Structure formats: structure tokens, C-alpha cells
Chains A and B, each alone.
Chain A
């Protein structure tokens, strides 16, 4: 004996990329993130053509100078122009972070798909593997692996990719497990749909959004790990102007001239904030359920 509800139309749900970008930019945080990331990409592409110095030529008489007209951010211990080196460094950072994070996503996607879909001992093995990787703080694991494999840009990419893979593996696995129990997958299977079809049509679209968010969130983490390792001399090697290298060289002279460390630290902070706000806003506008990326670790 209740009032019959007036028929209500369900609003159409369109999850296209264009409206997503629009919603992203409409939020101040999102706009900020997009602006920072776009600026970094531009710098990465065009820096070699626009920097005032080549960043490699030494000028010992003018070493450790503060900001001035000829060197906007000053010079380092070998008299090299800091602005040029930091701008050129953007390219190095992205050259490590982008391939490393993308590889980790693909690796994690495959692991998560296999684990979630096969189940049984395969799943257990993958979980133990992921737990083992995550039993180390990521800097420590990366440090040990790079130390063993030898410090180089390529090894750095591989190591960061391995270190970060468990996150996306967990996201994918959880999503597969959730889907496996849903009635419509049962129905699909009863209708004879193959494994590949189910993965392609149902699983992938469900994990793509969270993986994109992980992409944005993990790039700053990758840069942080790279710069940290290079700072310790275990990553990119001098004279390549990676930010970690600039920090490391600047740290040697920090009491005489803090400029190198200061500017690089600020560049790193800006980059990190930019990518993180982009990732967080992306998460908020696409799927509020994913709030709290830190919580993803124990989603078993």
C-alpha cells in the first residue's frame, strides 16, 4: 500500500574522454595539474632548442654563482648554467619515469589478469610475488636491484617498473575477482564467450580508468625514486643532467652555494604536486570509490 513512484528516467552515462578532460579542467586543482604536466611535456620536447646554455660547458671562474642576469638561476660547482641543466633534466626525468611507469602498468595488468582469472596456485604465487616485492620500501628495493645490476638509465627503468608493478597488479586482480563473481559474467560464460572476449569486453574497460590514475600518481613517485638513487650515485651517472645528479653535485657545495639544491628541489616539488593533483582530480571525477590510493595496498 504505497504510493506508486512517478517513473523516473535514468540520466545517460557517457564516459567519454572529452567530457572527462572538461570536468578535470573545471576544477582548480585539475587545471593546475594539467598546466604543470603540459608545461613539463613542452619543456621536455623543446628544452634543447631554447635553453640559454648547453648545460655541459664548464666555466670554472664563474662557478657557484647566485642568480644574475647572465645566469638566471646561477651556476653549479663547475660553472655550468643551472637553469639550462634543470630544464634539460626534465627530459631525463620523463625518459626514466614514463617508460618505467608504463612498463609497470603493463606488467601489473598482465600479472593481475592472470592471477585473478586463473585463480588457484597461480593466484597464490602472484600474490606472494607481489607481497615479496612490497616487503621492501621501494627506494631500498630499487637501490639493491640497481646496485646489483649496475647503475644505468636502462636498469633504472627496469628496476622502477618492477618495484611499482604490484600496485597495478592488485587493482587489476581485485577488479577481475569482483567481475568473476558477477552474474553477467556467469551468463556470458554460459553463452559460450571465451576468456579473451570476457577480458577484452568486461575486464579491461573496468581497470583502464584506475590504471590511468595510477599512471599519473606513479610518475612523481618514479621521478622521486630516480632522483633519490641518482643522488646516491646509484642511478643516472654524471655528467647527464638528471635532477638527482644536479642535487648530488649541488649537495657537495651546499654550504657555499645552496642554489643548485634549492632550484632542483623546487622543480621536483612542483612536478610532484602537478602530477599528483592531476591524478587525484582524475580519480575524483572518474570514480570516487578509488579515494585513498594508499588504501589500495590491502585490498585482498
Chain B
């Protein structure tokens, strides 16, 4: 386990450094002079020089990378071109909205998906089970922004029962929660389908296993087998998948935040991209990537901690 942990952590550090390098070099991928593109054709040569110096584009490339990495590690992501506010401040304002959205979506996925999966496993091959299988395929394959648009059409346009713009006020929890319903549901839909399916298959694989046969042969009640053994076994992979889902949700959140006009990390990124506001793009994308890498790492490790079998295999390999 220790060897594995070291390897995994080392790999994570290397990947984070590679991500930072990529982002710091992003500007150079722009065809033509990035500064002129940022400032537009009317910019005077003097202005161009000032911005070029500010972005450090005069320095040799390794120095630029070094400066960005060191700055990022110290929590300095530069200044917004337009508003001159520190990028970290913009990100700090946006993050809570995104995190609340993602966590609500995951909670929703677990709360709806797990009971659906349990129900389907209980009635394997019944009509309800088959209908659920179809439904989960539909859910799993539905992009979250499509779900967002459809939910918006039904509940905001046609029925007009739920708000579809903004976040509401943080000070008024009920208002904030109501504004969360549509975006969180849109993000959750894929994961509801995924969780339902996962719970069903892992429960069925437990129920078909030799050790369930054993315990039934010793008279253990079906109820105990179903809920204590099978469900417990299904919950572990489900939680692992959900914790890695937290990262995936961030990608989906980008479009969902645009559709529902939520001032989160995704919208910050998209707006910065369309304004060619490179420091903000670098900062926001770096935070998203860090989040993504770290949640994947945590999911991976927690999965190993929870399942005693994987623990042993790893230590056997590491020995």
C-alpha cells in the first residue's frame, strides 16, 4: 500500500506540474501575437509593450513557466486584464456556487439512484426492472446541458414553476435552494442512471455469488443478505464512482451554469475565454483541473482503503 501510495502521489504531482506548464504556455498556442489579439487592433505599440511585459512574454519560455508555477503555488494567479482584480479573488467568488451545485447534484444522484437500483435488483427481470434499464440508458447517455435545456423548457417555460436564471440570494437559503433545483437535477440525471445501474449490477453479482449461497444454506434471512450484504457491497463502488463523479460534474457544470446564468467557475471560464482574458482562463482552468485530479486521487485511494481485497493485492505487489 505504501509503495502504491507513493507512486500514485508522485504521479499526481507530476501531472499537476504538467498541467501548469501547459496552461502557462497556452498563450503561445494562439496563432499570431497574443497581445495584439488580447488588446484588439486599435492598441498602440506602447500599450502592447506594457501588457507584454506584464504577461512576462518577453522572458524566455522556461522562465515564464517557472514564474507561473511558482506564482500558482503561492496562490498568485495574476490580475484580470479588464477589471484588474486578482484572479484568485474572482475564483474565490465563483467556486462556492459551483461546489454547492456539484454536491447537490451528487446527493440527488445518490438519493434517487440507489433506491432505483435496489428496487430493480429486488425485482430482477420484472417489467419494472426492464423499464428501468431503458430509462437508465437514456439518463446515462443524456448530456447534462441537454437535460438542462429540456428541464428549462418544461419547468421554467411551459409550467413556469421554477426559476431558471441566476442563483437567488445566498442570504435566503430557501430562495437559493429553489434556484438550485433545475441545474442540480440537470447535472444529476446522468449520475442517477449510472448509479441505479451500478447498484443493480453489483447487488445482483453479490446475490449470485457463492458466499450468498453459503449464508442462505445456513439459514440467514434473505432480508439480511439483501440489505446487509448485497447493498453494502453495492454502496462501496457506488460511493467511489460518485466521488470521481464530483470531478466529471465540473465539466458538465460549465454549460449548465451558462444555461441557468449561474456565476460559477464554469461561467467564469467561458466568459474569460470569449474575452481572451488569459490570466482568468489559466487560473480558472487550473482550479478545475486541480479539483479533477484531486477528487480522482481521493476516489481511487478511498476505494482501495474500503475494499480489503485490493489492499492485500497491492501490498503483495509492493512487497
Which A positions have Cβ atoms within 8 angstroms of B?
29, 127-129, 131-132, 135-140, 143-145, 147-150, 220, 224, 227-228, 231-234, 247, 251, 254-255, 258, 261-262, 265, 268-269, 272-273, 276-277, 280, 294, 298
Contact = CB atoms under 8 A, between A and B. Distances in A.
Contacts of A136: 19, 251, 285, 288-289, 292
A277 B137 contact: yes
A135 B300 contact: no
A140 B285 contact: yes
Contacts of B30: 148
Nearest to A145: B29
Interface string B26-37: 100111000000
Contact of A148 (B29, B146, B258, B274): B29
Contact of B145 (A144, A228, A233, A273): A228
A131 B15 contact: yes
Given A128-B18, A140-B285, A269 B269 contact: no
Contacts of A128: 11, 14-15, 18
Nearest to B133: A29
B230 interface: no
B250 interface: yes
A254 B149 CA distance: 9
A265 B150 contact: yes
Contacts of A261: 149, 153
A273 B137 CA distance: 7
B273 A135 contact: no
A232 B158 contact: no
B145 to A, nearest CB: 6
A135 B149 CA distance: 27
How large, as a class, is the contact surface on chain B? 35 or more
Interface of B: 11, 14-16, 18-19, 22, 26, 29-31, 137-138, 140-143, 145-146, 149-150, 152-153, 157-158, 194, 241, 247-248, 250-252, 254-255, 258-259, 269-270, 273-274, 276, 281, 285, 288-289, 292-293, 300
Contact of A232 (B19, B146, B255): B255
A123 to B, nearest CB: 13
25 contacts: A128-B14, A131-B15, A131-B18, A132-B19, A135-B289, A135-B293, A136-B251, A136-B288, A136-B289, A137-B247, A137-B254, A137-B292, A139-B255, A140-B289, A220-B141, A227-B143, A232-B255, A258-B153, A261-B149, A261-B153, A262-B153, A265-B150, A268-B146, A269-B146, A272-B141
Contacts of A144: 26, 273, 281, 285
Contacts of A272: 141-143
Nearest to A144: B285
A234 B276 CA distance: 12
B318 to A, nearest CB: 14
Contacts of B18: 128-129, 131-132, 135
Contact of B138 (A143, A228, A231, A269): A269
A255 B156 CA distance: 9
A258 to B, nearest CB: 4
Given A135-B293, A148-B26, A265-B149, 5 more contacts: A128-B18, A139-B251, A148-B30, A268-B143, A298-B300
Contact of B252 (A139, A273, A298): A139
A268 B292 CA distance: 27
Contacts of A148: 26, 29-30
A68 B291 CA distance: 48
A233 B274 contact: yes
A150 B31 CA distance: 8
Contacts of B288: 136-137, 140
The residue in A128, A139, A145, A150 that gathers the most chain B C-beta atoms within 10 A of its C-beta is A139
B222 to A, nearest CB: 27
A251 B259 contact: yes
Given A135-B293, A136-B285, A254 B153 contact: yes
A147 B280 CA distance: 13
Contact of B137 (A127, A228, A276): A276
A234 B263 CA distance: 19
Contact of A269 (B29, B141, B255, B274): B141
Contacts of B252: 137, 139
A145 B269 CA distance: 13
Given A143-B269, A262-B150, A254 B157 contact: yes
Contacts of A269: 138, 141-142, 146
A127 B7 CA distance: 13
Contacts of A262: 150, 153
A268 B142 CA distance: 8
A261 B164 CA distance: 15
Nearest to A149: B29
Nearest to B266: A140
Contacts of B141: 220, 269, 272-273, 276
Contacts of A255: 157
A136 B11 CA distance: 16
Contacts of B285: 136, 140, 144
A30 to B, nearest CB: 13
A247 B255 CA distance: 12
Nearest to A223: B143
